[in-house]
Amino acid sequence: MAKFTKKRGKANPEVSTASLPDIIFMLLFFFMVVTVLRDAELKVSNNVPSATELTKLEKKSLVNFMYMGKPMINYQSTYGTKPRLQLGDKFANISDIPLFLEKHRSTVQEVQRPGISTSLRVDGDVTMGIVSDVKTQLRKSGQLKVNYSAKKRVD
Amino acid sequence: MPKKRAKDRMKPEVNAGSMADIAFLLLIFFLVTTTIDVDKGVYVKLPPWSNEPPPEMRLNSRNVYSILVNANNELLVRGEPKDIKNLREDTKEFIMNPRRLENMSQDPTKAIISFKNDRGTNYKTYLAIYNELKAAYNELREEEAQKKYGKSFEFLDKVDQKEIRSRIPLVISEAEPTNFGEEN
């Protein structure tokens, strides 16, 4: 028994925290890699529906995003509750689409322009009216590659 | 206090204790700004726009699979109300027509799916139906690939994939939506 009592005096065990920075850095790098800095602040509600037959969007620089949905609560006093279109970080009208597409097109190299696609991020509760209008306008502008953004559903 | 000798002072050490704090700060920043984005979706190729009315086409009605969705998100498939759960299997049967029925497509290459919705249809329903149709085609292609090459469609080489695609082409024709229902 003496063996045990002897220890008590000097025992002051400390967990080494030297590796803590390394662990944190590891986490940090993970999040840095997966982070996509949002370029546009969402002004419309945007809860996309789920689907199974999904295609991945290939190159981010070749994609332009269009958001559709009800304006968020703090914008409802100015913009009402009807579903609206958001281009970039602004509310927009259907007639603004050609200019928006042209602006994006000019940032893309000429060789890559046929690969440009549009991602439609539409809230699930929106009715098809506004979506049809946008689709018609896209067809008129010659932007035919469209991706209806959706979440993965497993069934 | 005893004077330190020069030798002892020669070991300068940067205090690394705050390293963790700095890293934490960065970590929290990235945690907050992260949105693990949904970068996937249902891919659709829209038909080009033309101002002229579409050419009059005489189609054998047995080759047309018409789907109508109204503003109450109800389905009318070839004149009969239908549940979306059965849509995939029915579409597959229509396209392939394994029993050679008179009222189904003559050949997968001739099958046309005509899809019409209302302006008041819910987008969720619309996408669900589109997804089912796409799934039907993808499953058929998958089955064909398994039968012919004993391999999954996605692992086939480009030429074979193209061959199967031309054998079972995806033709979904979307008509101009009707305007009966109420939009939100």
What is the domain extent for residue A109?
A: 50-152
Query: How many domains does chain B fold into?
Result: 1
d(CA B116, CA A69): 22
Mean pLDDT of chain A: 85
**Residues A80/B70/B40/A48 CA torsion (nearest 10 deg):** 30
Position B22 scores a pLDDT of 82
The ranges of chain B with pLDDT < 70 are 1-10, 35-38
Of A62, A70, A80, nearest to A42 by C-alpha is: A70
Residues of chain B contacting A117 with CB distance shorter than 8 Å: 43
Q: For residue B131, what pLDDT is reported?
A: 92
Residue B92 domain-assigned (yes or no): yes
In a domain, A42, yes or no: no
Q: Which tokens in the block code for residue B17?
A: 């204790």
Contact B33, A141 (CB under 8 A): no
Q: What is the pLDDT of residue A123?
A: 93
Chain segment A6-49, per-residue pLDDT in tens: 555 566 777 777 787 788 888 888 877 777 666 677 889 888 89
Q: Tell whether A40 lies on the interface with B, counting CB pairs under 8 A.
A: no
What CATH code is carried by the domain that includes residue B118?
A: 3.30.420
Whole-angstrom distance, CA of residue A50 vs CA of residue A65: 18
Question: Across the interface, do A32 and B123 touch by the CB < 8 Å criterion?
Answer: no
Q: Residue B146's pLDDT is what?
A: 92
Q: Tell me, yes or no, whether A65 lies in a domain.
A: yes
**Which token pair is A103?**
């602006």
What is the C-alpha separation between A92 and B106, in angstroms, rounded? 46
Q: pLDDT, tens digit, for every residue of B37-65?
A: 657 889 999 888 888 877 777 778 888 89
- Residue identified by tokens 């529906």 is A49
Are the Cβ atoms of B35 and A38 closer than 8 angstroms?
Answer: yes
Question: Of the candidates A40, A61, A44, which has an alpha carbon nearest to the alpha carbon of residue A134?
Answer: A44
Q: Please check whether residue B14 lies inside any domain of the structure.
A: no
Q: Which residues pair with residue A147 across a beta bridge?
A: A119, B43
- In this predicted structure, what is the pLDDT of residue A106? 92
Residue appearing with tokens 């499953």: B139
In a domain, A128, yes or no: yes
Nearest CA in chain B to A27: B27
Let me know: does B177 contact A128? Beta carbons within 8 Å: yes
CA angle B77, B80, B86 (to 5 degrees): 60
CATH of the domain at A62: 3.30.420.270
Determine, yes or no, domain membership for A124. Answer: yes
Give which of B121, B105, B128, B115 is closest to B173, Cα–Cα.
Answer: B115
The count of other CB atoms within 10 Å of the CB of residue B146 is 12
Residue A73 belongs to some domain of the structure:
yes
Q: How many CB atoms lie within 10 A of CB B178?
A: 16
Q: Is residue A87 part of a domain?
A: yes
In chain B, what's the furthest Cα-to-Cα distance?
Answer: 108
The number of domains in chain A is 1
Handedness of CA A111, A118, B118, B132 (dihedral sign): positive
Q: Is residue A90 part of a domain?
A: yes
Least Cα separation, residue B178 to chain A (angstroms): 10
pLDDT of residue B79: 87
A1–B contact, CB cutoff 8 A: no
Q: How far is CA A148 from the centre of its chain?
A: 13
Per the domain annotation, does A100 fall within a domain? yes
* Higher-scoring residue by pLDDT: B38, A87: A87
Please check the confidence at residue A76 and state whether its pLDDT lies above 80.
yes
The label of the residue with tokens 């840095």 reads: A32
B164, B168, B172, B173: CA torsion to nearest 10: 110
Minimal-distance CA residue of chain A relative to B119 = A129
DSSP string, B116-143: E-BTTSBHHHHHHHHHHHHHHHHHHHHH
Domain that holds residue B123: 61-136
Tell whether B55 is covered by a domain: no
Q: For the residues A127-149, what does the mean pLDDT come to?
A: 92
